[in-house]
A and B are shown apart, each in its own frame.
Chain A
Amino acid sequence: MLSEQMQREALSKCIVWFYDGNVRTFYSLDKTHKRALPNQGLGIRRLEKMLMETFKGQWETSIIYENKPNGNELAKFKKGARV
């Protein structure tokens, strides 16, 4: 679980609908190290890796959004594949 500050600073977030009915939100880690420049692409890749490897076979749908009010949809996954 990320701290509130890190959640605020994250550039993207991922909402996951699990098969067991749970819905969880994950925030991206966009830096390679503490003082690095934030890289949104890296954050998205890490979220994708989490979905495809850590939670493999456990979720039905997940959507990555920009982490801001009315943020755009960046990527969408259904049943283990990016659509």
Chain B
Amino acid sequence: MEEQNSQNAHFSFGEVFQNTKSFIDRYNNRQIKLTQKLNANHRATAELITRLYLKQLNKAAQLDNLDLENLPGFNTYNESLAKCKGCTKRTIINHKERLKQSGFITQEEHRGKGGVEIWLNPEVLGMAKLSTPLGDNVLKIGDVTSIFYEKAKNFHPLVHEHQERLNNNSKVDKSGTQKSGVPYGHESGKATGTGHEQDKNTEENANPSSKQQLKAPERYYKAEKQERVAGAGRIFLLSLIRQFWDYARKVLYPDLILSEPEVREILNLIWESVYGKLQSNATEKDWLKYQDTAFNRVNMVARWLTRSPGHWIPKPHIYFHPNNERNGFKKTWQWYVKQETLKIEIRNQLLLQQVKSEWQQHEQNKGRFREKTRLQLFRIQQKRLAGYRDESLNQAYQQCLQRCLHLQSLKPKQEAYAQ
């Protein structure tokens, strides 16, 4: 963070490094795939760039007054960075690409023999506008959703499990189509129709009934009772899937005619791709909240379709397929998170602006809070912001207070008094 002296600006290494670290940590938290995260090498390159840039900036600040609004970029050569870090030029170029993707480097200009000029994100230098840091927005949107989309999958089970052999006498229903229209595997309460369903991460048996069978006989009654409760929930959840499909069909596929087996197949696909096979133990309230987000996603797609005649979506059996990574409904989740994040950001910025203007007016003895004391105004604002239950908003409010009330300048004074 810059500490503006009477004439020159000075950037403290410690705070900028902390900003760098928290920026990369936050970026990594947002990424689901391990390959998309910035690793220790990228971090080291980022820190090297920051260190050299600050050195340049501080030197420039000594010689001339720096315009803090338009800071000069970092002039360097890929070769010299590579030499500093002890790696090849190509590695530096690759790392810069990744840092650009993450938003750490905002701009890069190649100057031929003059090397390259790099601009860092103002957030790293502590120059950004007051805003709430991007936390885990998935959790803000809903608990159910975060369970589905951040779950790592396809880990090989650590415990060896015997493969089921082909058994013609088995009672397992092997046909993929069902008569009742209930999503596949849910008539019997099992996802695969067999008793060997394992959770991909915990290696626990996902089917509670098969676990209960292993328990002592005196616990049967209790287990049956639990099953009944879970069954009631399942009916509710299956009704959610039907509601979702009815709505999606009305909005996205109004002219489509489908036979019963086709509808059943689509319901199964929705059960898997949109509702994560109903494996979450969320409450009914959480599920209803998730249902609203799902409807919102459908509305988003409908709006996008009406925006241009060139926009299209595939047929429902492809659109709702769980393996469709290209143009499936699954993709709308990222879209939705982005939209909601933006909404939260804008709301928080407006609130912070309001807070800031209230403090400014209070200092000038203006506004509706002019007769209140500073503490009273603080309490009013704190109560107002607490209503939003957003931790990042509270942090930003603290920052705002420090800026508005010049608390940073008070600290050295207090220390001086103490001495």
* Interface residues in chain A, defined as those with a beta carbon under 8 Å from any beta carbon in chain B: 11-12, 37-42, 44-45, 64, 74-75, 82-83
Contact = CB atoms under 8 A, between A and B. Distances in A.
B259 to A, nearest CB: 4
B262 interface: yes
Contact of B174 (A37, A64, A74): A37
B257 interface: yes
B257 A38 contact: no
A64 B260 CA distance: 12
Interface of B: 174-177, 257, 259-262, 264-266, 317
User: Max chain A CB contacts within 10 Å: which of B174, B176, B261, B317?
Assistant: B261
A34 to B, nearest CB: 13
Contact of A41 (B174, B175, B177, B257): B177
20 contacts: A11-B177, A37-B174, A37-B175, A37-B176, A38-B176, A39-B177, A39-B265, A40-B265, A41-B177, A41-B264, A41-B266, A42-B265, A44-B259, A44-B261, A44-B262, A45-B262, A45-B317, A74-B259, A75-B257, A82-B257
A40 B262 CA distance: 7
Nearest to B317: A41
Given A11-B261, A39-B265, A40-B261, 10 more contacts: A11-B177, A38-B177, A40-B176, A41-B177, A41-B261, A41-B262, A41-B266, A42-B265, A45-B262, A74-B261
User: Max chain A CB contacts within 10 Å: which of B174, B260, B262?
Assistant: B262
A75 B262 CA distance: 10
Nearest to A43: B261
Contacts of B257: 75, 82-83
5 nearest A-B residue pairs (beta carbon)? A41-B265, A37-B176, A40-B261, A74-B259, A40-B177
A66 B260 CA distance: 11
Nearest to A36: B176
Nearest to B264: A41
Nearest to B255: A82
